[in-house]
Structure 1
Amino acid sequence: MTGIAPVKPLRVAICGGGISGLCLAVALCRFSHIKVDVYEAAEQFKEIGAGVMIWSRTWRILQLLGLADAFSKVAHAPPDGTMGVGFDFRRSDSPNEGYRFRLVEMPYGCIRFHRAHFLDVLVEHLPKDVAHFGKRVVSYSQPNSNGPVTIEFADGIDSQCDVLVACDGIKSTIRGHMYQTKAKQMKDQSLLSFIEPFWSGTVAYRGLFPTEKLARSGTSHRALDAPMMYCGQSKHVVSYSIAQGSIVNVVTFASKPKAEGSQWDGPWVAECPKAELLECYAGWEPEVEELLKNIEQPTKWAIHQLQPLPFYVMGRVALVGDAAHAMTPHQGAGAGQAIEDAFVLASLLGRCHDTDNLDSALKAYEHVRLPLATHVLNGSRMSGKMYEFDSQHGSDYATLGPAIQGQWDWINWSSPEEDVQRAVDYLKRDTFGSKL
């Protein structure tokens, strides 16, 4: 990244301090000519949920950002590049012992973390004076298409930037304002349908417990050795160890395929009785019941997602992470896709030494990231149906197994370096990018 730093730094405002926002901030802070501000609505950085998993291509990005050593220390085990288990798929919805119908393996396997520990590593690498708390975005405006963006916050104190990046999640305020503005400009009310997420028809029960609770049984539980996918009709259970193998993470899913897209009444996340969880999976194989009985206080989540968006960028405002492509968790890809967004966008903005090339850089980001993220979003939805025998394959294991394996083909379509190069090439071809 060569060039003469401008007198005035490039101002990038990131609204949202989750994984996508902090990863983008850490990546951008490598460039001396960029001034980064992270605006977080809460009073501190925090993550809800329990486990987070990434695949080999995301691990490569962490290596390129110089974060691999730090993340190795909080992973379930230090990733070493050898073949590992992505998921071990079993048919489990009967009282008898279940059976494996597919073992998905790949380089690095499934790299997994406690979500809070993952966020902590990013926070530790964030320079001082970058984070601003209690800053809930209300709206934004960009009167001049080539001018600065003004961000309006709930505390009444506005701020200006050259680029506004929305990392404010599935319920993104910035996405709502962007699509409302575009709908008005284009006189196309259909664009409003992309603002609100929709219920997938699936609820999830989540819980954590210490590994030692399984070890006391005297037998080695499969979930201690590899990421497990216990499958049944319209339901499945995921379990794997996190926090250097000290904690078992369990997420169970129960679906009503015909309810997809209907209205969910009630909170998206709430505590629920343990009896409700056990009743939902009554009659499953013994090792699933053993997992579930160890969850003392489960939480119940209504799983929502976005429709595939037609654009991520408008003016000098860009959507990143869940604000752009919130997806179901069935491929463990949401965090990885957010990190890929951040890496590509930071690589492009790092090449902009004045505001003249910003529009082209944002177009290049969208050009590269939107198609792949959309593919993964759609694929994650379909994967969930496969795990629950609700896809076109039903329970025909001869075709279902290979189809499940093929759902991860995108991991090897390209490398992060190749994606950045494609984005840079696009930037250079664009009229405004000809100065580079």
Structure 2
Amino acid sequence: MATAKFRVAICGGGIGGLTLAVALSRYPDIRVDVYEAAAQFKEIGAGVMMWQRTWEILKLLGLGKEFGDIAHASPDSSPGVGFDYRKSDQPEEGFRFYLFQVPYGCIRFHRAQFLDVLVDHLPAGVAHFGRRLTFYNTAQTTSQTSGRRDSEITLYFADGATATCDLLVGCDGIKSVIRKKMLEDLVNKHGGSPTLLEHIEPIWSGTIAYRGLIPVSRLKTGGKEHRTIQTPMMHVVSYGISRGSIVNVVAMASQPHLYGTTYDGPWVRDCDRDELLQCFTGWEPEVEEMLQCIEKPTKWALYELKPLPVYVQGRIALLGDAGAGAGQAIEDAFILAEILGHPSTTLSTLSQTLSAYEAVRLPMANHILKGSRESGTMYEFNGPYGDDFARLGPQIGKQWDWVWMTTPQEEREKALQLAQAKTDLGARL
């Protein structure tokens, strides 16, 4: 391995963290270490879905074939159904009120299989398990060769181990230790507004999601095939994964008036099928029939973050921490890896590079976070349009406009140009 121009520590071995590690591994002059709290890489939940722009990133990383082999079907650019929006909360047969169609449609994977592809492309010696970060500290050091003073980050883990790096990337999820300390440091050490502390703790959305998996064979009875086998559905969310052999189901039960209150109980737990069925009693027959097929449902309290005020502080950066799903984390990872790996990025220009990353990705992350919440209310007819379907359907379609606003390549070029401009400015000051 070539002498590393800097060392990157990634805390969190989920989809975002491993995508970043794989993307950075293309650059032999960057040392990468992934610290994962668990004893092995694993994902909770079953389904992950993405749109064309995220699929383009996987291809740019050279992973198109492997991910194509595990998708619900081989992705192609022909128009496909993103989601079939249906009114189902009634005893009589429901109806479609909006059909969202786009090139590639909705590309779907099983989360565990998705993670396995990333793990298979992770270089040896990069992963460190049983490393739960509890604290980090930044200190000034002096190079023995150049005499130059620089910053080094020391990581402290729950098992007593320590490690050092030049750049720490927090991929540790909605309960992020790194986000918490970053915001606390901005307030306590750098005179930031105390309101920054309001962005540490996740907020209960007032929504419970019941999740389950159904073998496709159970959705084919009497010569009739359930529509969700072929088409991703939205009211009760359901779509095929694992080469079309399994249907992933997410059934939402929302109480908007409970938004921001305290949820009493674990965030994720097993539940009885009777609880699930009772919650959706009185829905259209095909929904009740589908839910009957879930043998082991789980119950998730859905939390979210307030839009984040910062993504970067010094040489600490967040990735995928806006609560907007795996696709957003993959985009963050791609952009960050591309600008870190650029020849113009060195240890001395890391601050300018990270500032460019924040300038490009933070507005997008917060836009998606806000839009996701608005979309969720509309899907359940709790938004400003209620069940005025003539207006509701097109408005739902507009919520996806961000997918086509830019391309990953355009985002990368914007970030690279901004990083160079910030570096040039810094050299003149």
Q: Which amino acid in 2 is paired with 1:59?
A: W
Contact 1:383/1:407 (CA < 8 Å) preserved in 2?
Answer: yes
Aligned equivalent of 2:159, options 155, 160, 165: 155
Q: Which amino acid in 2 is paired with 1:370?
A: L
Does residue 127 in structure 1 map to residue 123 in structure 2?
yes
* Deviation, structure 1 residue 86: 0.5
**How many Å separate the matches in 1 of 2:210 and 2:37?**
27
Aligned equivalent of 2:181, options 177, 192, 210: 177
* Deviation, structure 1 residue 432: 5.5
Counterpart residue number, 2:319: 320
Does residue 380 in structure 1 map to residue 384 in structure 2?
no
**How many Å separate the matches in 2 of 1:47 and 1:317?**
24
Question: SS in structure 1 opposite 2:302?
Answer: strand
**TM-score, length-scaled by structure 2:** 0.95
Contact 1:204/1:300 (CA < 8 Å) preserved in 2?
Answer: yes
* Deviation, structure 1 residue 7: 3.8
Question: SS in structure 2 opposite 1:204?
Answer: strand
**How many Å separate the matches in 2 of 1:22 and 1:294?**
34
Aligned equivalent of 1:350, options 338, 341, 354: 341
CA deviations on 1:24-49 (whole Å, 9 max, x unpaired) are: 00000000100110000000000000
Counterpart residue number, 2:193: 188
Question: SS in structure 2 opposite 1:213?
Answer: helix
**How many Å separate the matches in 1 of 2:370 and 2:345?**
36
Contact 1:15/1:40 (CA < 8 Å) preserved in 2?
Answer: yes
Aligned equivalent of 2:204, options 199, 202, 215: 199
Question: SS in structure 1 opposite 2:139?
Answer: coil
Does residue 210 in structure 1 map to residue 215 in structure 2?
yes
* Deviation, structure 1 residue 143: 2.4
The 5 A counterparts of 1:67-146 are 67-144=63-140, 146=150
**How many Å separate the matches in 2 of 1:228 and 1:218?**
21
The 5 A counterparts of 1:409-420 are 409-420=401-412
Using the TM superposition, name which of 41-50 and 187-196 deviates more. Answer: 187-196
Contact 2:12/2:35 (CA < 8 Å) preserved in 1?
Answer: yes
Q: Which amino acid in 2 is paired with 1:77?
A: A
**How many Å separate the matches in 2 of 1:153 and 1:433?**
37
* Deviation, structure 1 residue 354: 2.6
**How many Å separate the matches in 2 of 1:431 and 1:342?**
21
Counterpart residue number, 1:234: none
**How many Å separate the matches in 2 of 1:171 and 1:206?**
21
C-alpha change, 1:21 and 1:36, in structure 2 (3 Å) is same
Aligned equivalent of 1:18, options 7, 14, 21: 14
Contact 2:8/2:169 (CA < 8 Å) preserved in 1?
Answer: yes
Counterpart residue number, 1:292: 291
**How many Å separate the matches in 1 of 2:20 and 2:153?**
19
* Deviation, structure 1 residue 186: 1.1
Does residue 422 in structure 1 map to residue 414 in structure 2?
yes
Q: Which amino acid in 1 is paired with 2:176?
A: S
CA deviations on 1:335-369 (whole Å, 9 max, x unpaired) are: 10000000000001102553011001100110000
The 5 A counterparts of 1:255-294 are 255-294=254-293
Counterpart residue number, 1:400: 392
Contact 1:269/1:301 (CA < 8 Å) preserved in 2?
Answer: yes
Identity across matched positions, percent: 56
* Deviation, structure 1 residue 411: 0.3
Counterpart residue number, 2:143: none
Contact 1:183/1:189 (CA < 8 Å) preserved in 2?
Answer: yes
Counterpart residue number, 2:145: none
**How many Å separate the matches in 2 of 1:51 and 1:187?**
39
Contact 1:360/1:433 (CA < 8 Å) preserved in 2?
Answer: no
Contact 1:142/1:149 (CA < 8 Å) preserved in 2?
Answer: yes
Contact 2:339/2:345 (CA < 8 Å) preserved in 1?
Answer: no
Contact 2:4/2:31 (CA < 8 Å) preserved in 1?
Answer: no
Q: Which amino acid in 1 is paired with 2:322?
A: H
* Deviation, structure 1 residue 431: 3.8
C-alpha change, 1:295 and 1:373, in structure 2 (3 Å) is same
**How many Å separate the matches in 2 of 1:176 and 1:54?**
28
**Runs of 4+ residues deviating >2 angstroms:** 5-9, 143-146, 431-435
**How many Å separate the matches in 1 of 2:239 and 2:99?**
15
Contact 1:166/1:172 (CA < 8 Å) preserved in 2?
Answer: yes
CA deviations on 1:110-145 (whole Å, 9 max, x unpaired) are: 000001000001001111111000000011111239
* Deviation, structure 1 residue 326: 1.4
**How many Å separate the matches in 1 of 2:33 and 2:283?**
49
Question: SS in structure 1 opposite 2:82?
Answer: strand
Counterpart residue number, 1:166: 170
Q: Which amino acid in 2 is paired with 1:326?
A: G
Question: SS in structure 1 opposite 2:77?
Answer: coil
C-alpha change, 1:95 and 1:276, in structure 2 (3 Å) is same
Contact 1:360/1:432 (CA < 8 Å) preserved in 2?
Answer: no
Q: Which amino acid in 1 is paired with 2:416?
A: V
Question: SS in structure 2 opposite 1:326?
Answer: coil
The 5 A counterparts of 1:228-267 are 228-230=233-235, 237-267=236-266
* Deviation, structure 1 residue 8: 4.0
* Deviation, structure 1 residue 398: 1.1
* Deviation, structure 1 residue 262: 0.9
**How many Å separate the matches in 2 of 1:7 and 1:281?**
59
**TM-score, length-scaled by structure 1:** 0.93
C-alpha change, 1:187 and 1:320, in structure 2 (3 Å) is closer
* Deviation, structure 1 residue 217: 4.0
Contact 1:83/1:106 (CA < 8 Å) preserved in 2?
Answer: yes
**How many Å separate the matches in 2 of 1:187 and 1:409?**
34
Structure 2's unaligned 5+ residue stretches are: 141-148
Question: SS in structure 2 opposite 1:226?
Answer: coil
Structure 1's unaligned 5+ residue stretches are: 231-236, 328-333
